[in-house]
Structure 1
């Protein structure tokens, strides 16, 4: 006798169909599991049999063979406990009805209760695409699964309740998505109105948010670098539904949803400087998992104390920043994760932090400063569109009664600039000025004669690389968008060049 149930697996951020087949034949009682399972999948045998016995469900005494198809793809994790259990209950006569229109995802405890698993959202999306009408998931994953329209999501406490539901003995209602009443920015208490001084840095961050540009802030300790970075999510444009789904899928796979539903606010990830290359980029010895760059997808990746990161770790960023995705290969397995993010980095101007400060004397030698700053490679530096210096905030600015501009006011200008970009790039894969390709650069970054002369002088005097030249044009395009101007003018180029002056000041040989 052969029975079959439907489950799913994860490849990158997408789910794929897995058919769980079970066969019962005469012979010595035995439980075989095939289909390229990893160690955690093989352990399902013990969890499933113990759960059924502890729930009072007798197991048929015969040679049992379970196959996870397709057999050429490695299966990982405990997500197949539930579909294997359903197959075993079908073979043992505990379930009498056909389960072909229902998918099953979940881990079992030894008592038969369902436990949460990672990656439920992309698997439920795949279930809907496959044409299934129903899917059963653990209660802890109900909110994220209910986000998907067009498929009924059910949860059960344990396999006894599941048996009664599948046999029609108990009526369960599909889980409904929870409405979100709070605005996207309501969760972010910090506001730009709380920041005293640092007008140049605020302007630079506004430009960065308007064009999704990467930005590097340099200043002494206490100048407000981290404080400003943490307020950037409050001025970023609201997420579209497609961005919410894609971001939630990554967070679901990474296991950081913590029972929540749809991610509605742009992520802000701030890894410590001792993070490993695997932690930042993704991978791992136990399967391939998304790293910090992917978990910051459609949001902000903040790297504080940039030179303190290992150089080998920082070099992991070069390709993801450029391409907006990262491909990871481990033991013959390859996954590609999206990582379209805005990178904000902060650093001191020297090891002691007071180089150029007018109130503290720097104790670092020129050689020490040079070694410190050169921990950041030139190619990585080129990938930061904007560099801005933050001076120490003066006492008069801290005590000033003048109210600073709020995040809401800044966000309105950012949204207007992004709307211009959406219209400009409609029908293409480009989403913002930061990702303009070479062909679009010439088409959309139209500059007048005066602006061209300014750009030529800056290119020659600063010794800009070709990549830095492109970045200046892209930032100029964003500044023009903030002014609602289709043509890039000389003042737009001058301001953009101002944010590249650190190329010469800090990294010249």
Structure 2
């Protein structure tokens, strides 16, 4: 009876970061049983029963001996059921019923069923990307998600139907496996969500100034807030913003797709459109910012919306701790999750859209006599004061939205720009900004730091910045607000086709920052 230690490789995901895990298995002369060591979470600890039944179904016998499985490095917390395939193959190799050659250089990703079938583990695309970056020659994945794994170029994909197929590949048999994704992959015919593909900015009636503000926000990827009574169209404007945003570039597609793969549904193609997240105002800080317990890290809405839009409707209703937790990610573009056993860095480069009523009843400042505000000045101050000043200072555009007058039904018949037309303007403006910022780490105006904007090569003349200098001198602008107004001026110049922002663009930028505040 052999006491060989067999090894197979797997990937441990912490957020989007992957770490190689070497799964070691050995048989010992004790009463039959199995132990898994190396800081496994409950999902891995329960793999003992799944693996035992699956290897029996595949014809592997452990000769009534005790099986010890070690997940190395032992100090790294492991989570999830994606280690099942590597555990089963290492046991088969330790029992002398499968060749070990190739197992340590192949990343095995898959959850086992009791019948030996393989299922997709969460975060499959991110794990394949990590495997490629870590130098693995190939990955072995369930047949049902081969197309998702094949989205990553530069690494060989072995798709297997079940554990027997995985063993067949190592034994050199022909059945139960294939290389890559086939043209008739069943996942290819799955229904795709129709989502916002039919939404259009042309649905917004009677709000040309608000639509233009959305174009400015999209062109520079600026944060925006809207204050207005119920029914004014704040939610409609926010949900139509993604329709005028450009397609994601290749790097952004990889990041957005890796985040999307952390869910339970397999991907059949890369995410090409900016994501949109709109959490309810009862959401917790962990659900929006991200968090976890033990070795688990769960991305929040700000990460799921990375390279897209995070919309907080009824902003004053959100807990203050949740809103203040957004301040650091908005500046750095990342979220750092710190727990006792794990630290993870998650991407959080989003465009934040806030919406609020002007008061608890929503009718403050309304010109309609039938909609008289019933709130006291103190109630209004407390309501909007739930959003802290430091967060408001990070908002580039502050928009006041009014209800459409019932006396103007003809507005519905007026021609309005479509999302496709507005997107062309946004794409042209971003192209001008990208050309100007070539050779720098930034590609949109919202990312450019104030030191560069106020530097000798980019700062407008004193005559042009006089309106901003006066606002700064009288305290109407902070230094952060000054820089954000400069960024906004550059975006307005890009939309107008000008080489530099002039006095008019900077005055308009200051006006766009001077709308109703939360």
TM-score of the superposition, structure 2-length normalised?
A: 0.92
Task: Mark the CA change 1:132 to 1:457 in structure 2 (over 3 Å): closer, same or farther.
Answer: closer
13-22 or 337-346: which moved more?
13-22
Question: In 2, distance between residues paired with 1:294 and 1:88?
Answer: 37
Residue 174 (structure 1) shift? 2.2
Equivalent residues, number: 503
Matched residue, 2:441 = 429
Residue 413 (structure 1) shift? 1.4
SS in 1 for 2:256: helix
Pairs within 5 Å for 1:83-102: 83-96=86-99, 98-100=101-103, 101-102=105-106
Matched residue, 2:495 = 482
Question: In 2, distance between residues paired with 1:496 and 1:442?
Answer: 16
Residue 210 (structure 1) shift? 0.5
Residues 131-172 of structure 1: per-residue CA shift (max 9 Å, x gap) = 433311123432321101122223222212222232222253
Matched residue, 1:127 = 131
Out of 278, 281, 290, which is 2:286 matched to?
278
Residue 63 (structure 1) shift? 3.2
Matched residue, 2:514 = 501
Matched residue, 2:21 = 18
Matched residue, 1:266 = 274
- 1:169 and 2:157 matched: no
Matched residue, 2:349 = 340
Out of 345, 350, 362, which is 2:373 matched to?
362
Residue 77 (structure 1) shift? 1.1
491-500 or 162-171: which moved more?
162-171
Matched residue, 2:79 = 76
Out of 319, 323, 335, which is 1:326 matched to?
335
Question: In 1, distance between residues paired with 2:464 and 2:111?
Answer: 62
Pairs within 5 Å for 1:21-420: 21-96=24-99, 98-100=101-103, 101-171=105-175, 172-176=177-181, 188-253=197-262, 255=263, 257-285=265-293, 287-359=296-368, 360-395=371-406, 397-400=408-411, 401-420=413-432
Task: Mark the CA change 1:396 to 1:238 in structure 2 (over 3 Å): closer, same or farther.
Answer: farther
Question: In 1, distance between residues paired with 2:446 and 2:138?
Answer: 42
Residues 170-224 of structure 1: per-residue CA shift (max 9 Å, x gap) = 25332338899xxx99952111122111111111111110111000011111111
Contact 1:221 1:353 in 2 (8 A): yes
Task: Mark the CA change 1:231 to 1:114 in structure 2 (over 3 Å): closer, same or farther.
Answer: same
Residue 334 (structure 1) shift? 0.6
SS in 1 for 2:493: helix
Question: In 1, distance between residues paired with 2:324 and 2:375?
Answer: 26
Contact 1:421 1:431 in 2 (8 A): yes
SS in 2 for 1:32: strand
Question: In 2, distance between residues paired with 1:390 and 1:397?
Answer: 16
Residues 274-312 of structure 1: per-residue CA shift (max 9 Å, x gap) = 000000000123611111000000000011010010111
Residue 396 (structure 1) shift? 5.1
212-221 or 52-61: which moved more?
52-61
Contact 1:445 1:488 in 2 (8 A): no
Residue 38 (structure 1) shift? 1.9
Question: In 2, distance between residues paired with 1:209 and 1:396?
Answer: 31
Task: Mark the CA change 1:193 to 1:463 in structure 2 (over 3 Å): closer, same or farther.
Answer: same
Question: In 2, distance between residues paired with 1:386 and 1:41?
Answer: 48
Question: In 1, distance between residues paired with 2:426 and 2:267?
Answer: 32
Contact 2:62 2:95 in 1 (8 A): yes
Contact 1:60 1:91 in 2 (8 A): no
Contact 1:446 1:488 in 2 (8 A): no
SS in 1 for 2:179: coil
* Structure 1 stretches lacking a partner, 5+ long: none
Question: In 1, distance between residues paired with 2:348 and 2:269?
Answer: 21
